Amino acid sequence: MASANIVRKFKTLTGMVTNGEILRYTYRRMKRIKPVSYSVDYIGKKTLGTITHVITDEPVAALTFDGGPDPRWTPRILEVLEKYNVPGTFFMIGKYAEQYPEIVKMVAERNHSIANHSWNHPGFPLISRAERRRQLRKCSTVLYPYEVKMFRAPYLDQSISSRIDLLLMGYKVIAGNVKIHDERIDNPDELYREIKKSIIPGSIVLLHDVVCIYRDTSREVTVGALDKLLEETKNTFTYVTLPELLKIGKPNKENIYKTAERPPVS
């Protein structure tokens, strides 16, 4: 009887650790102590922080594209990148990578990087740990052998628990410091200006080759803005893949935690 109670308590404690409950409690308690508050933030960023950009003086940046692959719009983005001999990084949804393996192969063969954006784009904080692992592994399987070990959270929603899961599975988690919401802008010149004024050395630019939950919407605005950006900055910026960018500068990490009810893609 005593042995059974010990086993139950051990499982409960283990569950609290892996679900992030103890870390969350400890974090909240330590934040109340002002002298150690900044240290707690620093340790949190170092271990569970999300990469937003890299710190460098070199005029380099990474262009990233979420939501694909898509047979109509991903090739259009590839055409623009090829026109300027620029590589990109594509965060792909596994469900669509399974449907369009020829597009996945096309992206890889043109020397772009391919990374994990989950299986069907649910909000990660609100699904179980088992489901998070399933989402990552299932997407990884269909991206094989092209996947780089990087992940962008759907909707950028994260919790301490989801970040622990990503850490244990060996993924670098990427956001971006140039997040313009290209899906909400209906003029390519306006989108170009917003990107141009925000981009700095070491930037990670977040765009969409297809909008994850509105897949029938046109991406002409993003295609046009991308073309103008690459034309206007071809003598001032060098664009590289995310794996290359992380070798050039020190990754800047931030604690990004937010949760909301989000629909997966249908």
Percent with pLDDT over 90 in the chain: 75
pLDDT per residue as tens digits for the range 116-142: 999 999 999 999 999 999 999 999 999
Q: Are residues 137 and 99 in the same domain?
A: yes
Q: Are residues 249 and 154 in the same domain?
A: yes
Dihedral of the alpha carbons of 11, 14, 20, 21, in degrees to the nearest 10: 50
With CA atoms as reference, report the closest residue to 53 among 257, 258, 248.
Answer: 248
Q: Are residues 234 and 116 in the same domain?
A: yes
CA distance 48 to 8: 29
Domain that holds residue 19: 2-47
Q: Are residues 40 and 120 in the same domain?
A: no
Q: Phi-psi bin for 171: left (phi > 0), alpha (psi -120 to 50), beta?
A: beta
Answer whether residue 145 is part of any domain. yes
Buried b (16+ CB within 10 A) or exposed e, 125-141: bebebeebeebbebbbe
Domain count, the chain: 2
Answer whether residue 260 is part of any domain. no
- Residue 254 has a pLDDT of 94
DSSP β-bridge partners for residue 107: none
Q: Are residues 236 and 195 in the same domain?
A: yes
User: Quick one: tokens of 223?
Assistant: 């295609």
For residue 14, what are the contacts with CB-CB under 8 A and spacing of at least 6?
Answer: none
Q: Are residues 42 and 59 in the same domain?
A: no
Q: Are residues 138 and 99 in the same domain?
A: yes
Average pLDDT over residues 11-24: 52
Q: Are residues 178 and 125 in the same domain?
A: yes
Please count the other Cβ atoms lying within 10 Å of the Cβ belonging to residue 151. 25
Please count the other Cβ atoms lying within 10 Å of the Cβ belonging to residue 4. 8
With CA atoms as reference, report the closest residue to 222 among 246, 175, 187, 249.
Answer: 187
pLDDT per residue as tens digits for the range 50-88: 999 999 999 999 999 999 999 999 999 999 999 999 999
